[in-house]
Structure 1
Amino acid sequence: MIHEVDEALRLLLAEAGLGENGVDLVFDAPTSDWAARRNAPTISVFLYDIREDIGRRRTGETEEHDDAGLVVGRRAQPRWFDLTYLVTAWTNRPQDEHRLLSEVLRCLIHSDILPTRLHTGTLAELGLAVRLEAAGPGGNGPSASDLWSALGGDLKASINLRVSAPLAGERVPTGPPVTEGLVVRTAAGARDVETGSGRRLRYQGVSDPGPDGFTAERERPLPAARRRRGGTSG
């Protein structure tokens, strides 16, 4: 899921034209060593914090159906995670960096929802909304000063971007639907382990049990003794 969010952000910023004019878009950590090796205008989208949104956790599972409507699998409920990115611009002049940051901010606040056309993999399969929050209030993550200290660099203008994305639950395939009746065998006694070939119970004249399976109500002729019950004697 994380790499799918990365790809969606890359496409989102590329659509805004931020990859043009020789500007690189990377997901590297902006450490001091990395900054020293940089040789082109760059936008860094660095993922530094991953936290589950416990309030959105749900139990249970959902059914998956094929084109015929049959259940082919069951999947646990997705779990939601907040991915927090540090977005920075790197050029040789602060004015150019601020211009790039302004364009990034304009792109990110255009919509609170990541466009579905940019969803790939499990994000596309789930079809759930992925929320964006750019330059919002600080959360429970590290402070800006602590983060830059850990990166080994000086404090720099940046945009905090938080993405709320679902992680697909585990999928368990189901077996094929039952199409045959039960097999009944009899034995001579409780200790007798030998059994006959058995007799398969079938519905006469029915090859397809229908959508309700063998639990559906069907008309069955009563035994002769029951048909005579309550009648008049000759």
Structure 2
Amino acid sequence: MIHEVDDVLRALIRAEVLEGGPIAVVFDAPTREWAAKVNSPMVNLYLYDIREDMRRRERGLHNEYDERGAIVARRRPPRYFKLSYLITAWTKRPEDEHRLLSSLLACLLRYEALPPERLAGSLAEIGAAVPMSIALPPPEDRSFADVWSALGGELKPSLDLVISVPVTSSPVYEAGPPVGDEGLRARFGDVPARSADSGAGAGQPVYGSRPGRPRRDPAPRRPSDAVRITETRGTTPEDV
């Protein structure tokens, strides 16, 4: 998966930025020792961080269907991982490096995701977009100065490229056999009510009563419980 992203980035930069020029595209760590050996122009895309994109995580399962439209299996949704690249230009003159960085920035800003026509391998089989962002502010827990300090090199102008790659390697859960063509059937009907006089015998429980106790008639409502409604239309307050 990571190497496929590398191939897409290399092909994209060579075709739309370098235009076949004699500038190499490498993925080496730009350490002090490596920089001392650079003797020709090149673009370096150093992968310095890999972490999951928690904002894109989904819950539940995705269904897989056969040619009849029946569910045959379920699998977890893809999980996205952010690949962070440190892009630097290496030439003999700082002006040439700035010009090359400008071309790289203009090229990558044209895309919000890796071009679908350049995807290959598992990236193309997934059929999902591969979002990317360029030159955004780094998160609070990371700074580019710390990256250069860890590499042991000198601070250099760079572009931060972040690509969110979907990963679909997850267990597959087979679905149970489908229900027959007739489907499930349920019958509904009225249940005849039982009464105390229908042969159940005196003192036997009836529906709606507690077991072992005969049904009691509700107590008569007292006159005070009734609500008196007075017709006031066409009357005066004194009549009411």
The reply to whether TM is greater than 0.5 is yes
Q: Residues 71-220 of structure 1: matches in 2 within 5 Å? A: 71=71, 73-172=73-172, 174=174, 214=180, 216-217=182-183
The sequence identity of aligned pairs, in percent, is 46
Inter-CA distance 71–16: structure 2 relative to 1 (3 Å threshold): same
CA positional deviation for 1:140: 3.8
1:9-48 correspondence to structure 2 within 5 Å: 9-18=9-18, 20-48=20-48
Task: Decide whether aligned partners of structure 1 residues 121 and 73 sit closer, same or farther in structure 2, where only a CA change above 3 A counts.
Answer: farther
- How far apart are 1:147 and its partner, in Å? 1.0
Say which is worse superposed, 63-72 or 118-127, in terms of deviation. 63-72
Report the CA distance between 1:94 and its aligned residue: 0.8
Tell me what 1:49 maps to.
49
What is residue 6 of structure 1 aligned with on the other side?
6
Displacement of 1:149? 1.2
Distance in 2, Cα, partners of 1:10 & 1:66: 38
Q: How many residues align?
A: 185
- For residue 92 of structure 1, report the CA deviation from its aligned partner: 1.1
Residue matched to 2:220: none
The amino acid of 2:155's aligned partner reads: L
TM-score (norm. length: structure 1): 0.70
Runs of at least 4 residues off by over 6 Å: none
Q: Secondary structure at the match of 1:123?
A: helix
Write the deviation string for residues 62-108 of structure 1: whole angstroms up to 9, x where unpaired. 22334454555432111112221100000111111111111111111
Classify the secondary structure of the residue corresponding to 1:16. Answer: helix
Using a 3 Å threshold, how does the CA distance of structure 1 residues 39 and 64 change in structure 2: closer, same or farther?
Answer: farther
Q: Which structure has the larger Rg?
A: 2
Cα distance change, pair 26–68 in 1 and its aligned pair in 2 (3 A): farther
> Does the 8 A contact of 1:122 with 1:168 survive in 2?
no
Q: Cα gap change, 1:141/1:105 in structure 2, threshold over 3 Å: closer, same or farther? A: farther
SS at match of 1:14: helix
Contact 2:17 2:104 survives alignment (8 Å):
no
Matched, 1:59 2:59: yes
Separation in structure 1 between the aligned mates of residue 22 and residue 70 of structure 2, nearest angstrom:
52
Contact 2:57 2:79 in 1 (8 A): yes
TM-score (structure 2 length as normaliser): 0.68
What are structure 1's unaligned runs of at least 5 residues? 179-211, 219-234
Using the alignment, how far apart are the partners of 2:81 and 2:63 within structure 1? 23
Three-state SS of the structure 2 residue aligned to 1:165 is strand
Q: 164-173 or 146-155: which moved more? A: 164-173
Contact 2:61/2:74 (8 A) holds in 1:
yes
Cα distance in 1 between the residues matched to 2:84 and 2:131? 12
Compared with structure 1, are the counterparts of its residues 143 and 76 closer, same or farther at alpha carbon in structure 2 (3 Å cutoff)?
Answer: same
Deviates more, 1:43-52 or 1:63-72: 63-72
